[in-house]
């Protein structure tokens, strides 16, 4: 699995946003004048998709790629309107709503995954791997799980973001384990196929977070509702 600790992607389909425009009219704001600051916890892929779709609706977006502690700080200081991702041990001042639970898929070139959508544990362990690791380490939760099974894998490259990791898979033929919705949305565009991991991989919730002081703010409420629509939940 990825070294990226919990974060998710929704496989989003473009959809009209008349309700969003009506909400903004009710707030007395024009869509193009509304600036949204989103903190993406550990480069949360769901946040990237949300940002793309919300931007397409006319919003101006400023995306902040932050770690968990920095995301909480940004919400507290008002530098971020919302944060997306997985954060535990929230302070009382930060509120959160779960959006969905994420799982993982393995992706690689078709010749490297000839039995896709299946891959055996032996083949998985024998292959080279690319690891998504914002912190720069070369060990992830999958490695801990494999160690508990008396197995291991070889990580040949660690990269901080998803798109470079997918490009590296294309050039190297190494396996990449990444959030399922991200794999489903992007793998085919790189000429890659996907397979179910041959071991049980940690699932995690992706949530939207905001500061308690904004809980009754119409703008914040509207933005949270739009995220749910964008993620097709």
% of the chain exceeding 90 in pLDDT = 44
- Number of domains, the chain: 2
The H or E element spanning position 226 is helix 218-230
Higher pLDDT, 65 or 29: 65
**CA proximity to 98, closest of 208, 218, 19, 231:** 208
Q: What average pLDDT does range 14-25 have in this prediction?
A: 35
Assess whether 179 and 119 both reside in one domain: yes
For residue 71, tell me if it sits in a domain: yes
Residue 2 has pLDDT above 70, yes or no: no
For residue 7, tell me if it sits in a domain: no
Q: How far apart are the C-alpha atoms of 229 and 197, rounded to whole Å?
A: 29
For residue 85, tell me if it sits in a domain: yes
For residue 172, tell me if it sits in a domain: yes
Assess whether 127 and 166 both reside in one domain: yes
> Mean pLDDT highest for which of 79-83, 107-111, 220-224?
107-111
Assess whether 108 and 90 both reside in one domain: no
Angle, helices 18-27/218-230, rounded to nearest 10 degrees: 170
Assess whether 134 and 120 both reside in one domain: yes
For 6, the 3-state DSSP assignment is: coil
Supply the range of the domain harboring residue 151. Answer: 104-195
Give the position of tokens 């397409």: 56
**CA proximity to 182, closest of 196, 163, 197, 195:** 163
pLDDT digits (tens, 9 = 90+) for 71-96: 999 999 999 999 988 888 899 999 99
CB 90 within 8 A of CB 68: no
In angstroms, how far is the first alpha carbon of the chain from the final one?
25
pLDDT for position 12: 31
Q: What average pLDDT does range 5-31 have in this prediction?
A: 35
> Mean pLDDT highest for which of 82-86, 88-92, 120-124, 213-217?
120-124
| pLDDT band for position 205 (cuts 50, 70, 90) | confident
For residue 12, tell me if it sits in a domain: no
**What CATH number is associated with residue 56?**
3.40.190.10
Q: How far apart are the C-alpha atoms of 221 and 114, rounded to whole Å?
A: 47
CB 71 within 8 A of CB 38: no
Average pLDDT, the chain: 80
Assess whether 76 and 29 both reside in one domain: yes
Assess whether 223 and 141 both reside in one domain: no
Assess whether 58 and 137 both reside in one domain: no
Assess whether 173 and 220 both reside in one domain: no
Assess whether 128 and 170 both reside in one domain: yes
Give the position of tokens 């896709």: 116
pLDDT for position 9: 31
Residue 11 has pLDDT above 50, yes or no: no
For residue 6, tell me if it sits in a domain: no
Assess whether 117 and 43 both reside in one domain: no
**CA proximity to 71, closest of 101, 99, 41:** 41
Triad 151, 199, 153: Cα angle to 5°: 35
For residue 115, tell me if it sits in a domain: yes
Triad 127, 128, 129: Cα angle to 5°: 115
pLDDT digits (tens, 9 = 90+) for 39-77: 777 656 555 556 555 555 566 778 787 888 899 999 999
Q: How far apart are the C-alpha atoms of 4 and 1, rounded to whole Å?
A: 8
Antiparallel, parallel or unpaired: β 94-102 and 60-66: unpaired
Higher pLDDT, 22 or 40: 40
Assess whether 129 and 154 both reside in one domain: yes
Assess whether 89 and 137 both reside in one domain: no
Cis previous bond, 117, omega within 30: yes
pLDDT digits (tens, 9 = 90+) for 127-173: 999 999 877 889 999 999 999 999 999 999 999 888 899 999 999 99
Least confident of 165-169, 199-203, 229-233: 229-233
């Amino acid at each position: 699995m990825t070294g990226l600790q919990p974060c998710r992607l929704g496989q989003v389909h473009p959809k009209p946003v008349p309700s969003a425009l009506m909400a903004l009219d009710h707030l007395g704001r024009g869509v193009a004048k509304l600036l949204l600051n989103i903190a993406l916890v550990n480069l949360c892929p769901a946040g990237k998709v949300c940002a793309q779709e919300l931007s397409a609706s006319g919003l101006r977006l400023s995306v902040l790629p932050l770690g968990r502690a920095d995301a909480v700080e940004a919400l507290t200081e008002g530098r971020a309107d919302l944060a997306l991702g997985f954060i535990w041990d929230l302070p009382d001042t930060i509120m959160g709503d779960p959006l969905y639970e994420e799982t993982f898929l393995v992706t690689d070139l078709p010749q490297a995954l000839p039995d896709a959508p299946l891959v055996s544990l032996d083949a998985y362990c024998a292959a080279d791997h690319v690891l998504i690791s914002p912190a720069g380490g070369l060990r992830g939760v999958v490695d801990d799980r494999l160690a508990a099974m008396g197995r291991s894998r070889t990580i040949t490259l660690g990269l901080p973001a998803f798109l470079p990791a997918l490009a590296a898979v294309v050039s190297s033929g190494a396996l990449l384990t990444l959030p399922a919705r991200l794999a489903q949305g992007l793998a085919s565009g790189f000429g890659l196929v996907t397979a179910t991991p041959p071991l049980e991989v940690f699932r995690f919730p992706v949530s939207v977070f905001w500061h308690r002081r904004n809980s009754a703010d119409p703008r914040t409420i509207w933005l949270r509702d739009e995220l749910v629509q964008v993620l097709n939940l």
